[in-house]
């Protein structure tokens, strides 16, 4: 019984289409493309930011007009019982590389 249950779960979650059905995707998020700009509150200031770097070998570097806020290989957003991918981040990085979160200098 346990083997059958594991098979059903793994086969139903294997398809990316089914993964999006695990959580509600807000309408605004459906049009987001990785690398798009977003506004984030950082140290009490709204900053215009974007993730720089293209998977799988990201090697993101911020231009001189931006501050580097952080570097990450992957970005997920906690959600009640699970998590979901940050649509602005895009695909995760591999081979030890990272994307850079770059925000316009103030």
Using 50, 70 and 90 to split pLDDT, how confident is the model at 5? very low
Q: How far is Cα 71 from Cα 94, in angstroms, rounded to an integer?
A: 13
Q: Is residue 41 part of a domain?
A: yes
DSSP 18-64: HHHTTS---HHHHT--TT--EEEEETTEEEEEEEE--SSS------T
Any domain includes 55 = yes
Q: Tell me: the pLDDT tens digits for 30-87?
A: 567 777 899 999 999 999 999 999 888 899 999 999 999 999 998 876 665 566 677 8
pLDDT (tens digit per residue) in 25-46: 555 555 677 778 999 999 999 9
For residue 27, is it within any domain? no
User: Quick check: pTM over 0.75?
Assistant: no
How far is it, in rounded angstroms, from Cα 51 to Cα 58?
10
Q: Is residue 89 part of a domain?
A: yes
Does residue 24 sit within a domain? Answer: no
What single DSSP character describes residue 3? H
């Amino acid at each position: 019984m346990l083997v059958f249950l594991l098979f059903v779960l793994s086969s139903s979650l294997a398809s990316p289409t089914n993964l999006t059905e695990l959580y509600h995707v807000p309408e605004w998020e459906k049009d987001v493309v990785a690398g798009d700009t977003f506004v984030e509150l950082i140290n009490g200031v709204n900053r215009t930011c974007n993730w720089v770097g293209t998977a799988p070998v990201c090697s993101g570097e911020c231009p001189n007009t931006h501050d580097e806020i952080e570097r990450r290989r992957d970005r997920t957003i906690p959600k009640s019982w699970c998590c979901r991918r940050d649509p602005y981040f895009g695909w995760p990085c591999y081979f030890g590389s990272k994307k850079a979160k770059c925000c316009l200098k103030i």
